[in-house]
Structure 1
């Protein structure tokens, strides 16, 4: 060990900070990581890369490439399932967005029930009746019907035919956190309030 060069100490400090951030992320999402090994596998690979690389550079420089290669494999196997030849997008979406409403900006007129109603439509492409939405959300049909009318007036769902609703592109964008639903944004989009 030749001592710490400024570059090596910088790498080590940055690695420790990033590793602490990743571990903090894991501590916030314990319920997710408890049953999702892919998250642990990926985060383990990231921690190995950001801490193991600088430490290996200090202790055994000839092993740096082995450490980085192992870390890269852990990350790849956390993000990709070689058996099914599939990227684990569904698992990661569930893991990272266990509470997707965190990334959304609901308008003042919206209620927490609106997020659950819209989530029922999300990703299905289905046309649903208020009764089906009520059954899947646990709210009364009367409450769901009232909220669907409000969501329709703001362009998040559309009435496909009598008593049947579907998610609009605007509703899809809201669920993905790509749409601000503030009254000013509604006015600009030409959606009545």
Structure 2
């Protein structure tokens, strides 16, 4: 490391540690399949800023600020959707930043709409009809009804009476990241709330 200042050496060491941590998060890729592209953009920005900055400091010091700026833009685009002017689902970003090992692991039969339906039921703690869930999620009532039937068959929601559903304890555990529905579909009987 000839010609490196102690600060540049420190930056490189911290950068290597951060990249190893980011590789760990990416090893959880199967559990974050629905958010993969957003995570990759975020990770690319972090890697560029943390590793690219110190490397640029060695070979092209005039580019350090440009590299940090591009890295910051990638991180922002990973967490923010400029098309809809909204932060990308805050739940995944909160979990990703605080507890990456507890990211939800949806089963193969699940679709992205399922998480939205479960979040809606969880957010209200009420018994809801497919029409009300559809109104609050922006999906069609027919699609919500189909997904609620599937979620009921797998024990994540419970049909209390005709056309009325509520979240089960199993569904709550899935939302908290404490239930791996991929492996538990075959191992664990449905736990009703």
Task: Report TM bin, short chain.
Answer: 0.5 to 0.7
Candidates 111, 129, 137, aligned match of 2:152: 137
Counterparts of residues 28-177 of structure 1 (less than 5 Å): 28-30=28-30, 32-33=32-33, 36-89=36-89, 92=92, 96=96, 97-99=103-105, 121-123=121-123, 125-127=125-127, 136-138=151-153
Give the Å deviation of 1:94. 10
* RMSD (CA atoms): 4.3
| C-alpha distance after superposition, 1:32-71 (max 9, x if no partner) | 3586311110110001111001111111111110000000
Give the Å deviation of 1:74. 0.3
- TM-score, normalisation: structure 1: 0.54
- TM-score, normalisation: structure 2: 0.54
CA contact (8 A) 1:80 1:87 kept: yes
Cα distance in 2 for partners of 1:79, 1:176 equals 20
Flag the 1:47–1:30 CA change in 2: closer, same or farther, 3 A: farther
| SS across alignment from 2:10 | helix
The unaligned stretches of length 5 or more in structure 1 are 101-117, 149-163, 178-193
* Higher CA-based Rg: 1
| C-alpha distance after superposition, 1:132-166 (max 9, x if no partner) | 988623258xxx69xx9xxxxxxxxxxxxxxx886
CA contact (8 A) 2:41 2:75 kept: yes
CA contact (8 A) 2:42 2:74 kept: yes
Other-structure match for 1:105: none
Flag the 1:68–1:87 CA change in 2: closer, same or farther, 3 A: same
Other-structure match for 1:190: none
Count how many residue pairs are aligned between Structure 1 and Structure 2: 138
